[in-house]
Structure 1
């Protein structure tokens, strides 16, 4: 069994999509003969962790879960990409997986040349990196490799917020003005306890975070209904009130709805997984556009929530769209499995050289 360290473990993030992604990374790696012996939480700066640097030199490979981090030369993006040359100097294969790539500098590109392989979530990211002379493969988001919920009788429309606070306020106003025609759904989830990840400090921190989250959710569900014009300071409480504690419950809620209007990337991927019709609102990178282009649903993206709701009468998937979704999800899951198999093969081949 190969040993690996995972970087940018987002499972502590209070977000169903991130938690499903990390769960799939562990499962698919294990199936391919890779055991993750340590997982670095998101925003953990390995450059300042001397003990972690020594551990990197002892494992067979490093995996970086890029998700939506690698864009605009962000600090978190630089921390992750700078790991590649560090690993190469120590002859440790380093792989960027499940990532976006957008608007990064040539300095970032040069560091990325040290990756053993790069697997991006969409063709837009692949094309941008290719313009800098770097090859990559496309493997759609790893949530699409999860087990879908069982099919259910569908009814009712849902609206979900966005990465942006002002967009979330827009979604909330739509919900309040819809006079019962919409139900609000938050993608927020309870944080997961970081047990067995190799960081004792983060374990205790995650326990505190879980306690605070339960308390916040309890209080939010007992508050008076939020007004139509939702202040930014109340967005967190609103998200807790309309949340589901587990990913299974969240997926089941999608599976019984007729359709969803959302500005969240992972809400879109989970709609695809559950074959739930949706309309999407653009997010902070090209990740949603890239996803919909790949599965042939580019006509399902709107510039604002009001326009999407005005077209809700046609939200149902056509027979052709449903077939396209099934093919895309099936192909995405197969690509995800093959990615980890290929990574394991590459590492073993390098070890024999």
Structure 2
């Protein structure tokens, strides 16, 4: 097995999408012959950890899970870019995978130091190509997950999910309240944090237990609060806990038994793909949703507002052509994800 370190482990996030991404990274890496010995949490500053720097120098390769981090020259993005340069300086191949790339200027200085770049969408690829940096497109790794639905599940009702933007989440909740229908309900992508054991950072294991207990208290508290249509912004966190579906199986079942979903969350869109659930999407903080829909052959599913999306919900169902595009795209996503890890192994072995 090839020894690897993983950086920007987003499973520390309290939502289904990022937790599933990391789950898939581990599964696909293992299948390709890569053993991840340490997984560095998101926002952990590798530059201040001397033991980690030594581990980097000894590793066969480093993987950076970019997800939605690498845009607008964010401090976290630049820190990960510096990691690629550090790896190259010490003869360790560093691969950027599962990443957006948008509106970066300072980060470009580090782009050439990656041994390989695999971005989630063609828009990101075009931004790097404009600066002469070659990369490949492998869609978000949640799309490599093979969902096995319960036998002949019946679909009914519509779900409205939140957004990364607070104002959009308040809009979503207000529209659910305004509709006041039993067949329209709110669902957040939030999930309890995972206990981070066996990832090479004992202190984060302890922190994750504390985080889980804190989240459990918030979840319990959320059931004793009122949520008016004109919701104060400080209550958004509690709203998300109150209308969460804990556990990936339960969340996917909520999607797969609904007639359709309106969401501003990228990973809610990808999980609608996985469960073959019709949806309308509201734009997010990068081009990630628009780019995904264009590549999948489903470009007409962006709506300007939650109200407009709900008003058009009867037109949300997939056509026969939509279903064909979706099935072909999902098969291609699974193939590309496996090919990416196989190629990483091949490049790492040839690197030195």
- Point out the more displaced range, 177-186 or 312-321: 177-186
Output aligned runs, 1:105-120, within 5 Å. Answer: 105=105, 107-120=106-119
Distance 1:82 1:217 in 2: 38
Which residue of 2 is the match for residue 125 of structure 1? 124
Residue 159 of structure 1 contacts residue 182 of structure 1 at CA under 8 Å; is this kept in 2? yes
Q: Which residue of 2 aligns with 1:186?
A: 188
Equivalents in 1 of 2:6, 2:95: separation in Å? 10
8 Å contact from structure 1 (residues 149, 251) kept in 2: no
Q: Deviations over 1:241-261 (max 9, x none)?
A: 100121111011101000000
TM-score when scaled to structure 1? 0.98
Q: Give SS of 1:40's match.
A: strand
CA separation in 1, counterparts of 2:49 and 2:82?
A: 14
- Residue 286 of structure 2 corresponds to residue 285 of structure 1: yes
Q: 1:72, CA displacement in angstroms?
A: 0.2
Which aligned pairs between 1:1-353 and structure 2 lie closer than 5 A? 1-105=1-105, 107-150=106-149, 152-180=153-181, 181-223=183-225, 225-351=226-352
Equivalent-residue separation in structure 2 for 1:350 and 1:209 (angstroms): 39
Q: Following TM superposition, where does structure 1 have runs of at least 4 consecutive aligned residues deviating by more than 3 angstroms? A: none
Question: Secondary structure of the residue that 1:57 maps to in structure 2?
Answer: helix
Aligned to 1:82, the other structure's residue is in SS state helix
Whole-angstrom distance in 2 between the partners of 1:9 and 1:66: 9
Q: CA deviation at 1:350?
A: 2.0
Cα distance between partner residues in 1 of 2:274 and 2:324: 13
How far does residue 330 in structure 1 lie from its aligned partner after superposition? 1.0
Q: Is the deviation greater in 303-312 or in 122-131?
A: 303-312
Deviations 1:300-346 (A, max 9, x none): 00111111111111000001101111111111011001100110011
- TM-superposed CA distance for 1:197, in Å, is 0.7
**Using a 3 Å threshold, how does the CA distance of structure 1 residues 149 and 254 change in structure 2: closer, same or farther?**
farther
Task: Find the aligned partners of 1:78 and 1:152 in 2 and give their Cα distance.
Answer: 45
1:9-57 deviation digits (Å, cap 9, x = unpaired): 0101101000000000000000000000000000001111111101101
| 1-structure distance, mates of 2:79, 2:252 | 32
Point out where structure 2 has 5 or more consecutive residues left out of the alignment: none
Q: Distance between the aligned counterparts of 1:350 and 1:283, measured in 2?
A: 37
Deviation for aligned residue 1:222: 2.9
- Aligned-partner SS, 2:62: strand
Rounded to whole Å, the distance in 2 between the matches of 1:179 and 1:15 is 27
- 1:147 deviation in Å? 2.0
Q: CA deviation at 1:149?
A: 3.5
In the aligned structure 2, how far is the partner of 1:110 from the partner of 1:198?
Answer: 30
TM-score computed with the length of structure 2 as normaliser: 0.98
Give the Cα–Cα distance (whole angstroms) in 2 for the partners of residues 220 and 51 of structure 1.
Answer: 41
